[in-house]
Structure 1
Amino acid sequence: MTDNKLELKDFGPSPFAVNLSEAAKQNTNYRTTFWTGNHFQVTLMAIPPHGGDIGMEIHHGNDQFIYLVEGVGHVQMGTDKEKLTVDRDIYPGEAVIIPDNTWHNIINAGDEVMKCYSIYSPVKHDHGVTEATKEEAITQEGPLEGTNE
């Protein structure tokens, strides 16, 4: 680390200690895999302001934890895409816990880039994935899970 700037790359599966909130603040990509192990993965995300989003999706085989570091988000989730049971704003310091087989989306409800980090268990993305935009993520990895988007 030089000048308080972290190298934003995938450090897994090596042992690693870091300030995840600071890493998330420095990340400018839609998604950067930051640590990929055998059983879980950490990604950093930057979601554009004024309605940018992660995208309504459902994971089959993954639990997910998202921690908001900067910005204001709006989370929607539930087991039935047509009857979402969670629909509320989230703020820095708050977490979203998404069980397997749960529809979910987090929308940037503010005027600034929303920064967060996400933990997937088991691993969701290939080691070393970096995607500058949501569109690039869809191009590289295919449609959001459970959708044609």
Structure 2
Amino acid sequence: MTIKDRGPQPNAFDIETATVENSTYRTVAWTGRYLQVTLMSIPAGESIGLEVHEETDQFLRIDAGEGRVTMGPAADDLSFQQDVSDGWSIQVPAGTWHDVINTGDEPLRLYAVYAPTHHAAGKVHATYAEATIDEESGGDEPPEWTVQP
């Protein structure tokens, strides 16, 4: 299934099929003024990477695979831990350190909803390393037409 971010235009697609078929670390599927939808695929033994978004809430849903989510008030205080699998949702409040680790033998497929938007519209990162480089260089900023805190 091919997904094209149409910006703040009306859109509809089969998110479960798109998520399960996605093989990239992160693909931005839709960017609105106030929220954003991304598809993610995390290889076995890898993770989304420990991170915090100070002003962004996140909703994640697992559509395939098995993992473990860790969250907490600091990078060295991840007191919330939960095993997750197909059908589970994860809610990450703004300012919460979090990571999702693939504990299974197959890719962990999930989608994330960010509010407000967090990534460049239509951005595709094949790997975590590619995403990290792009973010550090400033190449993955939300569009100017989005509403940011």
Q: TM-score, normalised by structure 2?
A: 0.88
CA–CA separation in structure 2 for the residues paired with 1:7 and 1:37: 19
Query: Which of 33, 37, 43 matches 1:42?
Result: 37
For the pair 1:70 / 2:64, whether they are aligned, the reply is: yes
Q: Which residue does the alignment assign to 1:130?
A: 124
Distance 2:96 2:65 in 1: 24
State, as a whole percentage, how many aligned pairs show the same letter: 41
3-state secondary structure, aligned to 2:17: helix
Partner of 1:140: helix, strand, or coil?
helix
The answer to whether the Cα contact below 8 Å between 1:30 and 1:46 also exists between their aligned partners in 2 is yes
**Superposition deviation, residue 35 in structure 1:** 0.2
On the 8 A contact 1:64/1:99 being kept in 2, the answer is yes
Structure 1 segments of 4 or more deviating over 6 A? none
AA aligned opposite 2:90: V
Matched, 1:58 2:52: yes
CA distance in 2, matches of 1:48, 1:101: 26
Structure 2: gaps (5+ residues) = 138-149
Q: Which residue does the alignment assign to 1:109? A: 103
Counterpart residue identity of residue 118, structure 2: K
Q: 2:5 aligns to what?
A: 10
2: CA distance, partners of 1:141 / 1:7? 24
Partner of residue 26, structure 2: 31
**How far apart in 1 are the matches of 2:127 and 2:4?**
16
What is the aligned residue count?
137
CA separation in 1, counterparts of 2:83 and 2:136?
A: 28
| SS of equivalent to 2:74 | coil
CA contact (8 A) 1:8 1:27 kept: no
**Contact 1:61-1:100 at 8 Å conserved across structures:** yes
| Counterparts of 1:138 and 1:72, CA distance in 2 | 23
Query: 1:130 Cα deviation (Å)?
Result: 0.2
Instruction: With the length of structure 1 as denominator, give the TM-score of the two structures.
Output: 0.88
